[in-house]
Structure 1
């Protein structure tokens, strides 16, 4: 299918969302100009491995790439990497780069992602304090995660636990400091969280909850300890901060695009400004089965939005929504999550948690709204279908491993 349009589409942000928009435009036959602008000098790359295989040294820079470098030239995608967009003029339909270059567009796609939330305490600017969001962050952190190094990880979310697992693999020690009463308090159910905490403890990671960080101490400009609200100290050589991310909405706001905890978009990726779309971590978007708008830090969500946006830009039929899903690898554990746990009012465990292969189904009434699986890919795949179909299930049968999950789909 060829789309004969000869207009210009500018994409601001070269992560998964932006890179997929560029690639899909060409795959769907768009013949106009495609300009992909990214503020990092590196070619578009995958971010999830940064806390896992890349940090452990099991991946090279080329392994990280979303597409081979020559893909962009082959597909006539004009790339401007290492260039930050400083301003957008939605009336003139131009973007201005840091060096002063102005690029005209007919359609603009914002894929500016999110930035790590900063730790607001004294000492957070000491050497040895790391955030992990991009390639350079991973390089700097990797230089400090060496055998016998002592890591203090502030934040017991998925990134914090993944870094802890990688650190243990590399022979470093890790203490995770979580402000809430349990790890993964905002992103996982209690059953999965308890299981993962046990797995980390068995491998030598210490996880402290209700641990409020009030200060970082240092010596000669280098961090040496984390000080907690109860006065205790965690001696360390390196601190990794993983306390969430903030959508990078500054450009959108400057351009008059409606934002509220993210760039507000509809089912097609459209913003409040004509000709301006947005995809990925920067957005708050509608989801089937879940009221309101939601900001998802998820590669599958960014790729899905890229498909929906490209279809709308090219005048194609709307693409169906996918059930939101996420994943995390820690040690030999393959964790996959679908749906949104926060909408559930009860949970059902299927399988033997002690075996390290199980699923936790989260229900609202008798409808499945989320699932968390560990080393259980078949359960995950069927569970996504249960969520997508809004199927009503018998909780007792759901908990019984002898009942095939596919029977519940019927």
Structure 2
């Protein structure tokens, strides 16, 4: 992993300070500069590494397939763009009146404009035994390195949470020859994000690879011996012996800095279409925000690379005086075993789902309609459908349900 160039400057006055150095933070700083922002920019991150890609951490990284290629930008980018990258520092207080951010080393940065891209953290596991050695989370490069090392020595792992991170980690653990159990409180896997059909398909895939899956099950406690986790006890009385537990029970937006400063917070820092908070001098973007989403038809918080990157760039453009409302089509992906699951759009439920392709062959898509509107497409090993869906939903053009169901209909004719 590449470490960041040390910031050795003494300047504490900046025209733009960005707090949080991941997709959204890099997007804000980079887009502002590209859009002609000529003032002094500081990007503050609480990790010592260069801002890096996070999706591989629960995928290839655990299998030793990703490492040195993780940085979002080369170190030279920050120098060439005139961005002071201040690494290993955490913002602890925000004084809106003085336009000043206090860092954890006691220093302070003054700003003309501030952008909060503080992201999210792994939700805490709340049960007896959660503090035992061998109970881990997966959010940062440090987490991934620790999990990778522990997986090498483990025989059995229990994963608490059947969402994307939990299932991606499960597929990696199976590939490493481990005994894997997944405990999910909901009635289906990744139930918050995909249709029941896709949930059932992924359930079959994981079960077919030997994963023990327990749905509608809660963790009563984690048992231990000599301070180390040895088993997970479920509320139905089941005891799952293990020597490693991964807590993957969701993410919590890092809104404390904003809330303490009196900014509007509602399941995320409240922003408008241009990523402006309730203070005109402060912007926010990424996993920490709640924004009005035109595709959902409501305000929501999205945790995705696409949202963080695109929202960050929208904020950067607005800060530079070239405002463009955030209107990007949401899209997501997940790699598990040899399955590439891709999603575009947002379905609110109650949709009519049209199958295109073959479930038996493991190459199909569900076109999800809400009334006459194509709200989302969920694809299994059908990247062409996904890419075309991104174009069509963005353009407001889509096939009729009858056309989507016809394998001979060429989606490209609508582009």
Pairwise same-fold verdict (TM > 0.5)? yes
Structure-to-structure mapping, 1:2-401, within 5 angstroms: 8-60=15-67, 62-146=68-152, 149-318=155-324, 321-391=327-397, 393-401=399-407
CA distance in 1, matches of 2:346, 2:263: 27
Q: Quick one: distance in 1 between partners of 2:361 and 2:153?
A: 30
Please tell me whether the aligned partners of residues 366 and 393 of structure 1 are also in contact (alpha carbons under 8 angstroms). Answer: no
Displacement, 1:392? 6.3
Equivalents in 1 of 2:162, 2:105: separation in Å?
A: 40
Q: Name the SS for the 1:64 alignment partner.
A: coil
**Quick one: distance in 2 between partners of 1:73 and 1:398?**
49
Contact 1:367 1:393 in 2 (8 A): no
SS at match of 1:30: coil
Secondary structure at 1:192 match in 2: helix
Under a length normalisation based on structure 2, what TM-score does the superposition of the two structures give? 0.94
Per the alignment, in what secondary structure is the counterpart of residue 287 of structure 2?
helix
DSSP-derived class of the 2:65 partner: coil
Q: Secondary structure at the match of 2:63?
A: coil
Q: CA deviation at 1:338?
A: 0.8
Give unmatched runs, 5+ long, in structure 1.
1-5
User: Does structure 1 retain, via aligned residues, the 8 Å contact 2:274–2:323?
Assistant: no
Cα 1:269–1:56 shift into 2, 3 Å:
same
Q: Is the 8 A contact 1:146 1:171 kept in 2?
A: no
Q: CA deviation at 1:148?
A: 5.9
Aligned length, in residue pairs: 403
Worse overlay, 259-268 or 206-215:
206-215
1:393 shift after superposition: 4.3
Inter-partner Cα distance in structure 2 for 1:261 and 1:44: 25
Residue aligned with 1:225, SS: strand
Q: What is the Cα-based RMSD across aligned positions, in Å?
A: 1.6
Alpha-carbon distance in 2 for matches of 1:176, 1:138: 19
SS in 1 for 2:49: coil
TM-score normalised per structure 1: 0.95
Which of structures 1 and 2 has the larger relative contact order (alpha carbons within 8 angstroms, sep 6+)? 2
C-alpha separation in 1, matches of 2:137 and 2:234: 19
TM superposition shift of 1:24: 2.0
Paired with 1:339 and 1:265, the residues of 2 have a C-alpha distance of: 21
Change (3 A) 1:9 1:148: closer
The answer as to whether partners of 2:23 and 2:308 remain within 8 angstroms in 1 is yes
